[in-house]
Copies of this chain bind each other. A is one copy, B any other.
Amino acid sequence: MSENPLTQLGSTLTAIEQMPLRIQIADMLRRAIVSGNLRPGSLLVETALAAQMNVSRAPIREAIQILENDGLIESIAYKGKRVKPLTQREIEETYSLRVVFEVMAARRILEMNKPVDALWIHCRAMATAADNNDRDALTTADEAFHRTLIGLADHDLMLTSWNSLYLRIHQIMALRNVAQLNLAEIAGNHPPIVHALENGDVDKVINLISKHTRSIADLDAAKIAEMNL
């Protein structure tokens, strides 16, 4: 089984290429949706996609079903499937559920007395990104912060739900007006959370997370409502 490094790299690449088509297609479509390239409401027709990708309908169907499971696509009887429209309500539900998960995570972390040092790394990355006015870097560090927080809770079921949630959050973020976000403010919101965690102050953690999320959720909900998706 031991081969030279070059073949190892090659096998890694072919491993991706040799994944089932449905996975490749699902990944492709998922990226298109959460990046905003496929806007909410877009119709997905199996035959069209199959022709476009030069594959049969079978893997397309399965890929679409995967995305339906992700909550990114919904079925419309005998018309096709379409990218799920984003309603104000859904945005609010998405963010409120994220708050619940993060509060749950915080409680578990405190119960288990887990160190939260890992969070500081992402806080610093966010601060740097804010200084450089680098929105992409801030977004990346922000997600890393939240993902780390959830991961520390060591709860697979919640993590799975959270991943699904975050797909939609990505989609929302791709459509929102980033210009109205104050990078420094967002970066500044996170260190107090870590401090509260280190001090074991549950109520403060809950308060901070709730307030932080709500302000973002309100911005996004307003934006999406205005876009009329």
Chain A interface residues (CB < 8 Å from chain B): 58, 61-62, 65-66, 69, 71, 89-90, 93-94, 96-97, 100-101, 104, 155-158, 160-161, 165
Residues of B within 8 A of A157 (CB): 90, 93-94, 97, 165
Residues of B within 8 A of A61 (CB): 62
Number of identical protomers: 2
Task: Report the bound CA distance from A94 to B62 in whole Å.
Answer: 27
- Evaluate whether A104 and B100 lie within 8 angstroms (CB atoms) in the complex, with A62-B61, A65-B65, A69-B69 already known: yes
Residues of B within 8 A of A101 (CB): 100
* CB pairs A–B below 8 angstroms (9 shown): A61-B62, A62-B65, A65-B66, A71-B160, A93-B158, A97-B157, A97-B158, A100-B100, A100-B104
Given pairs A93-B155, A100-B101, 4 additional interface contacts (CB within 8 A): A61-B62, A90-B157, A94-B157, A97-B157
Nearest B residue to A107, CB-CB: B100
